Amino acid sequence: MVGRINSMILLFLLLSCGSIYLFLFRGEFILLGLLFFVILSFYAKPVYNRELLKKFFISTSIVSSILVFNWIVTGFSLSIVEYPKYLIRVLIVNFALFVLYNNNKYFSYKNLEWIFKLVVVHALLNFIFGFFFRSLFISVGSQEGYQASSLLYIFFYMANINIAGFDIYRNQSFFWEPGVLSCILNLYLFILLLVRENVQKSSLLIFLVCFLIITTFSTTGLGLMVILFCVYFFKDKISLKKITVLILASLLLVPILIMNIREKMTGGGEVSYIVRYYDSFIALDIIRSHPIFGIGLSSEKYNAEQIKYPRFSQSELEEGKPSTNSILGVFTAFGIPLGLLILYGLYKQILIPKWRKFLFLVFVIFLASEPLILSAFFIMFICSLFYYQENKGIGYVSQESLNLNS
């Protein structure tokens, strides 16, 4: 039972990471569901590790202090009602980590892989239903203006891309847009290619994950997939077979990537390209103007910076939205010193200790395209560094694995 509870905790953590349900329903329901399974786990296993309890308090205190300090130095940028939502998110995530590490017999990579496999299955079904039964989908939306098409609130599609005159459906699974799905699938692909011991046994699953990444038609996702395979093929001895496979794969993927980039820059996806361009431009200007403390997490302050640019306000873009670039967004909200500290926490995570430097690069690439870094799922990675325990149960991470390729 404890193992199933752990899996549900991880599932709700994943749902907090750009899931469409955050937009269609109140995001607080995801955190309440997560809290429910955390409390249930306390009842299932009421024996606690004191050392882990100490780490829980240290992690919660340090991360919460960063948020409170930022709130104060940015002039209480959010109201006293809004800001505690971030503190509650940090608290619940640390409760979840405490439970997962306390139940050391059951928490492993298999738990992470279980939720990734669930995403793969759902994304495959979402592609099938969206491609063959699109007429069954109905329009759904939120009060904030988010619009998508859905079948029974289980399967979704929102975006199309025009390639060579064909309108192609972009797979998004249960996430708010296809780019988020490509990020999660690439993280799973990283585990399959570089963390698992026997890659050949996972060849069919790897092929399926790659196919699903292609169905998202995400420029970042496709590019990252190519990078992952290049690292996998050349991390050991280079052979003629590896080079042949890589060339054949490139002949398939590179044209798709080039067409996708062209569509984003000149076709129907031009607005998406402009959004990211202005996001980066404005974020860099905010960092230049507020390098030490940032402007906080207030969308109103971000909007005030946006309207300084006449060209921006005349475009079709939405104002008042935080930066879609998580990396620049951290620096605009927290300033350079605290921003670097948060990214260092992400780098030092212990949930996937192998290939740490390269994994951090993977994080940076896809977080630069999606506003996910302050979701509960990625806060879990950041806070995990406080739960390192050498030679102790599930918290155990061997020094060898920590040093491997880091």
pLDDT above 70 as % of the chain: 82
Which one has a higher pLDDT value, 273 or 247?
247
Give 332-349 pLDDT, tens digit per residue. Answer: 999 999 999 999 999 999
Report the distance separating Cα 310 and Cα 321, nearest Å. Answer: 17
pLDDT digits (tens, 9 = 90+) for 272-291: 666 677 778 888 989 999 99
pLDDT at 395: 42
Region 290-294: what's the mean pLDDT? Answer: 93
Note the pLDDT of residue 400: 43
Reported as a single tens digit per residue, the pLDDT across 297-320 is: 888 888 777 777 655 555 445 544
Mean pLDDT of 204-213: 93
Tell whether the model's pLDDT for residue 294 goes beyond 50.
yes
C-alpha torsion 186→269→173→150, nearest 10 = 180
CA atoms within 13 A on the CB side of 292: 3
Tell me, what's the pLDDT at 105?
A: 54
Region of residue 37 (phi > 0: left; psi between -120 and 50: alpha; otherwise: beta) = alpha
User: What pLDDT band is residue 109 in, cutting at 50, 70 and 90?
Assistant: low
User: What counts of helices (H) and strands (E) characterise the chain?
Assistant: 17, 5
Q: What is the DSSP code (8-state) at residue 121? A: H
Q: Which long-range contacts (CB under 8 A, 24 or more apart) does 283-292 make?
A: 283/323, 283/325, 283/328, 283/329, 283/331, 283/332, 284/328, 286/332, 287/328, 287/331, 287/332, 287/336, 290/332, 290/335, 291/335, 291/336, 292/335, 292/336, 292/337
Give the Cα separation of 51 and 4 in Å (integer). Answer: 24
**Which residues 6+ apart lie within 8 Å of 102 measured at CB?**
45, 48, 49, 52
Residue 394 to residue 109: CA distance in whole angstroms: 10
In order of 23, 61, 70, 93, 295, the CA distances from 292 in angstroms are 32, 22, 10, 27, 9
Pair of tokens at residue 83? 């800001």
pLDDT digits (tens, 9 = 90+) for 38-89: 888 777 677 777 888 899 999 999 999 999 999 999 888 777 777 888 898 9
Q: Which residues contact 285 (CB under 8 A, 6 or more apart)?
A: 305
Q: What's the pLDDT band for 391 if we cut at 50, 70, 90? A: very low
Structure confidence by residue, pLDDT tens digits, 159-190: 777 666 677 789 999 998 899 999 999 999 99
pLDDT score for 239:
67
At 406 the pLDDT is 47
CA 114 vs. chain centroid, Å, equals 17
Which residues are registered as beta bridge partners of 162? 167
Q: Which residues pair with 149 in a beta bridge?
A: 139, 157
In the chain, pLDDT over 90 holds for what percent of residues?
Answer: 34
Calculate the average pLDDT of the chain: 82
Per-residue pLDDT tens for 117-168? 999 999 999 999 988 888 899 998 877 777 889 998 999 988 777 666 677 7
Q: How far is CA 41 from the centre of its chain?
A: 25
| DSSP structural state of residue 343 | H
User: Using CA atoms, how far apart are residues 310 and 90, in angstroms rounded to an integer?
Assistant: 37
Q: Indicate whether 321 pLDDT > 80.
A: no
